Copies of this chain bind each other. A is one copy, B any other.
Amino acid sequence: MPAPVIAVVGGGQLARMMAPAAAELGVHLRVLVEDPTTSAAQVVVDAPVGAASDEEALRALVAPADGPHAQVLTFEHEHVPNALLADLSAHGTPVHPGPDALVHAQDKIVMRERLTALGVPCPRWATLPTDPSEAARRLDAFLAEVGGSAVVKTSRGGYDGKGVRVVTSSSEVADWFAGAAEGGPALLVEEKVAFGRELAVLVARRPSGEVRTWPVVESVQRDGVCAEVVAPAPDLTDEEAAEARAIAVQVAEALGVTGVLAVEMFEVSGAADGTGAPGRHVLVNELAMRPHNSGHWTIDGSVTSQFEQHLRAVLDLPLGDTSARAPWTVMANVLGSSLDDLADALPDVLGAFPDARVNLYGKSVRPGRKLGHVNVSGDDLDEVRRRALAAAAILRGETPS
């Protein structure tokens, strides 16, 4: 009974959440984990330990000495040496998303250049020179151009608010200028968009070209990290939703993305987007080429979850229905907890919210760490949202009020 074998780089919660989907589809998952107790290693039978940057580990992940070869190599994070992927790909291992696509999720300058060339709406942006004093001059000029406040980003290595700094003066990133001059990641600056809210569109594309998007969601960030997702985004017109989905499809197709792509967007009013067009519009903020926090609602709220869809897409299997199962689903992240162990809160959270779909990642508690999430679905958005947030609060160790 040879099951399809998918090799996944990275042993965090995203790989963990692929495991249920793999079990249901009869797919063999092999996950390269950072250590044998990591989130995914707890629930994946075939979980060799190794670093994502280790060439031997990656080769053995795809073609182990004592197990079936993988049909495809994929990822739960983008921190993988691209040259190695290109080499594996050139030697016959399908890599999805491929290195030519993945680079746009690894390097924000490459991403901005490409999206701008495609005509995809982006915030105003500029690269900063390597020389610190030139970088400072360029940044101060940019700040003057965009109204005094901007976001400086490292081109590589950032996530969840790391590698991102909001500044009003070049002096606030002097340390980064020094880093870039010494061979650290290049820097770019983007206008600080006066956005109304953040939206996200999840799209899946498979090598043979089929593309499916899920309903557009609203993503609520706190301290630079996704705290809450509302699906679908409330008060979105059909035209806005169609525009956002069309941009995601355009990006997936133009960049040749395979697997799941998350496109994070700012929703801006016509006056702020610089086009002069009336109504609300979106600007692309970030890309992630893997299942993404903004899609955890799909586990319970959509016919096909982003995790199953990613597995289907990278195997070039037909994609699943992305319809919502309920009028509203709200996902609330559990970011840190005052409890030693989230399991201690299960009696309270399950007792208070029998309809809450609790998902715990098996991670030890650290401040602000993504430890789990809760999905609640229903007809009444206010009630759904209240329940999801209250359930997550119990898991964070807060006493229900």
Contacts and interface: CB of A to CB of B under 8 A. Distances in A.
Interface residues of A, number: 52
A303 interface: yes
Instruction: Indicate the member of A326, A354, A363 with the most B CB atoms within 10 Å.
Output: A354
Contact of A341 (B2, B28, B41, B365): B2
A304 B355 CA distance: 8
A143 B28 CA distance: 52
A346 B317 contact: yes
A360 B24 contact: yes
Interface string A333-377: 000000001110011001100110111111111000000100001
Contacts of A303: 355, 357, 377
A139 interface: no
A53 interface: no
A20 interface: yes
Contacts of A372: 26
Interface stretch (A42-50, A82-90, A93-101): A42-50
Contacts of A25: 346, 358-360
B43 A42 contact: no
A359 B364 CA distance: 31
Interface string A246-273: 0000000000000000000000000000
A362 B42 contact: no
8 contacts: A1-B341, A2-B343, A24-B299, A25-B358, A26-B342, A319-B350, A320-B354, A325-B377
Interface of A: 1-4, 16-17, 19-20, 22-26, 28, 41-45, 47, 299, 303-304, 312, 317-321, 323, 325-326, 341-343, 346-347, 350-351, 354-355, 357-365, 372, 377
